Homo-oligomer: A and B are copies of this chain.
Amino acid sequence: MTKRIRLNATTVNGPTVSPGLWRHPEEQAARYRDLSYWRDFARLLEAGRFDAIFFADMLGAYDVYRGSAAPALEQGIQIPLNDPRYMIPAMAAVTTHLGFAVTMSTTYELPFPVARQLSTLDHLTEGRIGWNIVTSNLDSAAKAFGLKEQFDPHERYARGDDFVAATYKLWEASWDEDALLLDKAQRRYADPARIHDIHHHGPFFDVDGVHLVDPSPQRTPFLFQAGSSEPGRQFAARHAEAVFLNTPTAAATKFIIDDIRRRAEAFGRDPASVLFFPKLTPIVGVTDADAEARYQDFVRYSSTPGIFTLLGAWTGLDFDRVGEDKLLQIAEKADTRGLLESLRRSDPDRKWSTDELAQVFAFGTSALTIGGPQRIADWMEEFIEFTGADGFNVAAVIQPGTIASFIELVVPELQARGRVQKNYGEGTLRQKLSGGGDGRLRLDHPGRQIALAEIRQREITHA
């Protein structure tokens, strides 16, 4: 059977989706403060049968490159950056099927209000909410939140494990399915005997009390994650229902997918139930030559300091200080996103030149693909078949132009090949993405098991 290619759009709530491109005459991202801009974008994505939109989010300024936030501020790289959670209600109001992945941090937020906010959003979108679970990786964010420096990655993920355990209990173990009565004759809105305090006492978080929101369509929102480092992959293998990847090559993508699926199986999960969305930045033209001309046009607007600002934040390396030639020696030791590891381990016999690796670092992190509809569709099909991925996280060079061209030219081609849905499936975001089920977290997911243990503990205590 031909595997369906799922489509997710990735963006940020700021003026610059691609370094330097805010200057491009067709770029409309500067309208990011305007609700009508986001409503129009949501309608476009639903017309193009995208499954979801994902707002990446950062909690501090990018300040690694040149040791300062000045390049980020001057080039508008992820700053200004408005809180993306507020776009969702307005976008949900003008769509019926489009899903929304919300980034919330397990390092800088708390389980009780995060669970409440996501339940609220899942109710008001009728089950279209995903949570992009992040542990956050900027020193600037740590300082903005009152810490001297960030926790190391292992502690961040340990906190993340504890955080999600508390939210699973709130979502899955506080309200019984039939707790709401709405019994006017008996004057009973709900049955208190079927609504329970949860008691979470983990190494980092304590939560005692009832979830403030009755069960939403999905209870636990669909769970996205994007970690590629070793502890990140372990976390994804345990908790993620879908993983966003920003891997440099097809081989590296395959390596990460195989690795996480193997780890998921070791946790007792069906490895096929974890979906993967590698990043794709399509430069689309009517013909291949047209696309190439568009690419050259974009390159004229591209900002090199802007790219180094992004890469600095992603890798922790200051490209200005070390110089590109020295970069890789340092990168070996400081490869927090697993970029080099995945590249080397995916193809251990290949000898990479410093230049090639620098290219991978600078441009390969975004899967730039240039061509007419056939070439891009071919590339996507081959990539899916080779890597085992389930769809793409489609990024823009200009917004909404990049996605609009993709929807106009490539989506019909993929639909003709039976790869992209012509109509949406039924049900919640989880049901649409997973192709069925009862809409709840799978029984082999730790969220269900943690909730079950909480319920058993409660029954023992009350027995």
Contact = CB atoms under 8 A, between A and B. Distances in A.
Given A192-B74, A212-B81, A206 B146 contact: yes
A333 interface: no
A22 interface: yes
Contact of A92 (B22, B35, B120, B189): B35
Contact of A213 (B60, B81, B195): B81
Interface string A166-198: 000000000000000010100111111001010
A86 B88 contact: yes
A74 B20 CA distance: 57
Nearest to A83: B120
A194 to B, nearest CB: 9
Nearest to A86: B89
Contacts of A214: 80
A189 B15 contact: yes
A210 interface: yes
Interface string A368-411: 00000000000000000000000000000000000000000000
B87 A189 contact: no
B209 A123 contact: no
Contacts of A158: none
A413 B36 CA distance: 36
A82 B120 contact: yes
Contact of A79 (B33, B76, B210): B210
Given A59-B112, A59-B212, A73-B191, 13 more contacts: A22-B189, A23-B184, A35-B92, A61-B210, A74-B189, A74-B190, A74-B191, A76-B189, A83-B213, A86-B121, A87-B89, A108-B110, A187-B303
B90 A210 contact: no
A206 B61 CA distance: 17
